């Protein structure tokens, strides 16, 4: 008797008609074989093997360089289950539309069966997915990003408990590109893209969109959050999870080299993009990282902004859409060192000054987590690590102070639900436009976001010790258009304040939006920052916030009567606090 997995693979092969089927075991030998094949057919370009051993460059099709949110659908029987912020299609219609694109799409090509575990191999909270793909680049990337191969097959056995994902490059024509999620049957179909979150189906498609649906049903949380541990001088580590939209610095924060290292504050990396969190037997929220690698944005990465990744991504790393120097080393805008003669841009052309960026702004490195010097020794703890704080943030040139703390769980959920950020190159479309991105999950929530807010509200009371909820903004600018805060390793000063709040030893000023640090409660020694700048960083302008809260109210109207009353209540309560404070100021 065929197992459920064998039957599904057979069915997928009948549809896509590959010349050959390869079951991936995740071994070193297999990786070498796939790499050699990709070097032969041009999918991989060899980088300098002396300075970057086992590193390769992949150039994706120029029309396929980022997630395509407009082509991403949640396919549920009822439209309201997908909600007003997702593209929706009925499952039968979606299949009718996309099946012809898969029909024969792997003719003459190899189909790779890629089984993978999301989460530590031995964790009861880990889950299994199987991606069928005609891209060897996807298969080798999945080997870095997840526990791929034999371990997953062994754990699955003959069970039907896996999330199938069918992927084919198709013809890479954006008009025939679809990323379809069927959460009711836990199925993913993606065709026409070979890039990142569109094609590595374990990442956004399963670990966020399908998993968020499962989490709502099963009483846990699947969030677009990094996980880090902040070690204090006594050696105690406090874990925090932070949600920022794509390409807003989650990887850099999670891998930070602390500016307060000499004082005994260190940051340990558990994850850089996704957190799965369960209520532990101790009443704490416990987080695992479903991934095993980092798919990070290369441009802007250097020895100052992320020294740990610079030390990790010099071996066994796949680079996508970066530039290449004449000596075969990866290069991008913002790396240490100016462009050198003979630079080849991300499209494979000779780069010249004035010919645009050499690396694509959304160029990426795919690096095994195990190579980071900052990796927490507890990162594979099967029970997950206890989360003491949630941190929300985004890119906001104005308005939001460096950090503030919400009043309680319900208010904190409101703070998360109202985050806004300027868009980045991680998705196609305009860059730098402000948009609401609740919990940084707008592109990743697999169901109605109003119900998602309700799920968040319901989780707090299940926890004996719910995480305290904060908001940060590293991106506030002064009147001169320059960033007010240095960011990167200095952000540890904000993490330390958060820790001190948790330990009830940091001062704060009550404002209508929440508690802002008193200037003396921030540890600023060794940092030259003027009193005026600090004041500007921490200031809360009630009139600006009145406008903000009105915009939030407008945004919430999208959800109609499905918006949880507690969220609407928080929006009005903030309006009241703000108007009282402007009256008091007069
Ligand atoms: O391309 S991905 O979706 O994996 C990256 C991101 O948007 O965070
Ligand atoms: Mn992300």
Residue 583 has a pLDDT of 82
Give pLDDT, residue 422: 87
Q: Are 403 and 497 in contact (CB under 8 A)?
A: yes
Which region among 58-62, 226-230, 331-335, 352-356 has the lowest average model confidence (pLDDT)?
352-356
Would the CB of 196 count as within 6 Å of ligand 1?
yes
Q: How remote is the C-alpha of 287 from its chain's centroid?
A: 15
Q: Are strands 285-288 and 266-271 parallel, antiparallel or unpaired?
A: unpaired
pLDDT given at position 433: 84
Sign of CA dihedral 200, 206, 207, 209: positive
Distances (CA, A) of 86 to 98, 294, 382, 523, 535: 18, 26, 33, 42, 39
Rg (CA), the chain: 23
Q: What is the pLDDT of residue 247?
A: 87
Arithmetic mean of pLDDT, 123-142: 98
Going from the Cα of 244 to the center of ligand 1, the distance in angstroms, rounded, reads 12
Which residue's entry shows tokens 């968040």?
456
- Concatenated DSSP letters of 320-365: ES-EE-TTS-EE-TTSSS---TT-B-TTSSBP-TTS--SS-TT-EE
Mean pLDDT along residues 574-586: 89
pLDDT at 336 over 90: yes
> pLDDT tens for residues 286-315?
999 999 999 999 999 999 999 999 999 999
- Beta-carbon contacts of 513 under 8 Å, excluding residues fewer than 6 positions away, are 404, 540, 545, 574
Torsion of CA 182, 293, 52, 259, to 10 degrees: 130
Q: Is 372 in the pocket of ligand 1 (CB under 6 A)?
A: no
296 forms beta bridges with 365
With a pLDDT cut of 70, the percent of the chain lying above it is 100
Q: Does ligand 1 lie within 6 Å of residue 67's CB atom?
A: yes
Distance between Cα 564 and ligand 1 center (Å)? 29
Give per-residue pLDDT as tens, 98-108: 999 999 999 99
Q: What's the whole-model pTM score?
A: 0.98
At what angle are helices 565-585 and 409-417 packed, to 10 degrees?
A: 90
If you average pLDDT over every residue of the chain, what do you get? 97
Which of 204, 366, 423 gets mutated to test ligand 1 (max ligand atoms within 8 A of its CB)?
204
Measured in Å, residue 243 CA sits from the centre of ligand 2 at 9
What pLDDT, on a 0 to 100 scale, did the predictor assign at position 204?
98
Q: What is the mean pLDDT of residues 226-241?
A: 98
Task: State the ligand closest to the CA atom of 427.
Answer: 1
Predicted local confidence at residue 96, as pLDDT: 98
Q: For ligand 1, atom 6, name the residue with the nearest CA.
A: 246
**Does residue 584 carry a pLDDT above 90?**
no
User: Which-ligand-closest: CA of 363?
Assistant: 1
Residue closest to 284 by CA, chosen among 384, 360, 159, 365: 384
The answer to whether 471 and 400 are in contact (CB under 8 A) is yes
For the chain, report the end-to-end CA distance as a whole number of angstroms.
Answer: 79
- The per-residue pLDDT for 585 is 73
What is residue 306's predicted lDDT score, i.e. its pLDDT?
A: 97
- The pLDDT score that the predictor gives to residue 50 is 98
Given a cut of 80, whether residue 65 has pLDDT beyond it is: yes
Residues 6+ apart with CB under 8 A from 283: 463, 464, 465
246 Cβ closer than 6 Å to some ligand 1 atom: yes
CA 319 – ligand 1 centroid, Å: 14
Per-residue pLDDT at 586 exceeds 90: no
**Which residues form the catalytic set?**
248
Q: State which ligand 1 atom lies nearest to the alpha carbon of 426.
A: 7
Tokens read off for 180: 């379809």
Residue nearest to atom 2 of ligand 1 (CA): 197
Ligand 1 atom with the smallest distance to the CA of 427 is 7
Q: How confident is the model at residue 532 (pLDDT cuts 50, 70, 90)?
A: very high
Q: How confident is the model at residue 498 (pLDDT cuts 50, 70, 90)?
A: very high
| Cα dihedral sign, 469-475-480-482 | positive
Give tens-digit pLDDT for 418-462. Answer: 999 988 898 999 888 889 999 999 999 999 999 999 999 999 999
Residue 582's pLDDT is: 85
The CA 401 to ligand 2 mean position distance, Å, reads 23
Give the helix ranges, DSSP H, for 106-187.
Answer: 136-145, 150-156
Ligand lying nearest the CA atom of residue 274: 2
Nearest CA, atom 4, ligand 1: 197
Residue 102 beta carbon below 6 angstroms from any ligand 1 atom? no
Alpha carbon of 173 to ligand 1 centroid (Å): 20
Residue 459 is predicted with a pLDDT of 98
Identify the band that residue 175 occupies on the pLDDT scale cut at 50, 70 and 90.
Answer: very high
């Amino acid at each position: 008797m065929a197992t459920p997995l064998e039957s599904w693979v057979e069915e997928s092969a009948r549809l896509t008609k590959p010349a050959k089927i390869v079951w991936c075991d995740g071994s070193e030998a297999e990786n070498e074989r796939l790499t050699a094949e990709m070097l032969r057919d041009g999918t991989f370009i060899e980088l300098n093997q002396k300075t970057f051993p086992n590193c390769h460059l992949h150039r994706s099709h120029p029309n396929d360089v980022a997630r395509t949110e407009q082509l991403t659908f949640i396919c549920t029987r009822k439209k309201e289950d997908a909600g007003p912020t997702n593209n929706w299609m009925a499952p039968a219609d979606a299949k009718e539309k996309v099946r012809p694109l898969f029909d024969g799409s792997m003719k003459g090509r190899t189909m790779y069966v890629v089984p993978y575990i999301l989460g530590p191999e031995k964790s009861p909270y880990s889950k299994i997915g199987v991606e069928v793909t005609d891209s060897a680049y996807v298969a080798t990337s999945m080997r870095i990003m997840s526990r791929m191969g034999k371990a997953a097959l062994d754990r699955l056995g003959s069970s039907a408990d896996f999330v199938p994902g069918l992927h084919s490059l198709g013809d890479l024509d954006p008009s025939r590109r679809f990323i379809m999620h069927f959460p009711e049957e836990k199925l993913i179909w993606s065709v026409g893209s070979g890039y990142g979150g569109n094609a590595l189906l374990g990442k956004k498609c399963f670990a966020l969109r399908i998993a968020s649906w499962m989490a709502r049903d099963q009483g846990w949380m699947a969030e677009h959050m990094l996980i880090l541990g902040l070690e204090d001088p006594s050696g105690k580590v406090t874990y925090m999870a932070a949600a920022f939209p794509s390409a807003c610095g989650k990887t850099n924060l999670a891998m930070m080299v602390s500016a307060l290292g000499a004082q005994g504050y260190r940051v340990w990396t558990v994850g850089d993009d996704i957190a799965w969190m369960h209520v532990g037997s101790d009443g704490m929220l416990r987080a695992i990282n479903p991934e095993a690698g980092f798919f990070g944005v290369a441009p802007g990465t250097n020895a100052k902004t992320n020294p740990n990744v610079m030390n990790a991504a010099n071996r066994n790393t796949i680079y996508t859409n970066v530039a290449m120097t004449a000596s075969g080393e990866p290069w991008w805008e913002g790396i240490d060192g100016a462009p050198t003669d003979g630079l080849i841009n991300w499209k494979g052309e000779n780069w010249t000054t004035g010919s645009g960026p050499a690396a694509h702004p959304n160029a990426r490195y795919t690096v095994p987590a195990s190579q980071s010097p900052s990796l927490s020794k507890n990162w594979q703890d099967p029970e997950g690590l206890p989360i003491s704080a949630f941190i929300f943030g985004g890119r906001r040139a104005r308005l939001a102070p460096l950090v503030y703390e919400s009043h309680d769980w319900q208010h904190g959920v409101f703070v998360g639900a109202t985050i806004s950020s300027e868009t980045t190159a991680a998705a196609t479309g305009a860059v730098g436009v402000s948009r609401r991105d609740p919990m940084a999950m707008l592109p990743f929530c697999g169901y109605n976001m109003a119900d998602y807010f309700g799920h968040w509200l319901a989780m707090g009371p299940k926890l004996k010790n719910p995480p305290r909820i904060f908001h940060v903004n590293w991106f506030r600018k002064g009147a001169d258009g320059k960033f007010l805060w240095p960011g990167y390793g200095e952000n540890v000063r904000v993490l330390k304040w958060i820790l001190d709040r948790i330990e009830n030893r940091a001062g704060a000023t009550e404002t209508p939006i929440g508690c802002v640090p008193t200037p003396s409660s921030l540890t600023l020694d060794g940092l030259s920052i003027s009193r005026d700048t600090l004041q500007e960083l921490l200031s809360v302008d009630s009139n600006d916030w009145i406008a903000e809260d009105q915009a939030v109210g407008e945004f919430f109207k999208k959800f109609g009567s499905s918006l949880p009353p507690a969220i609407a209540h928080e929006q009005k309560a903030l309006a009241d606090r703000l108007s009282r404070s402007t009256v008091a100021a007069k």
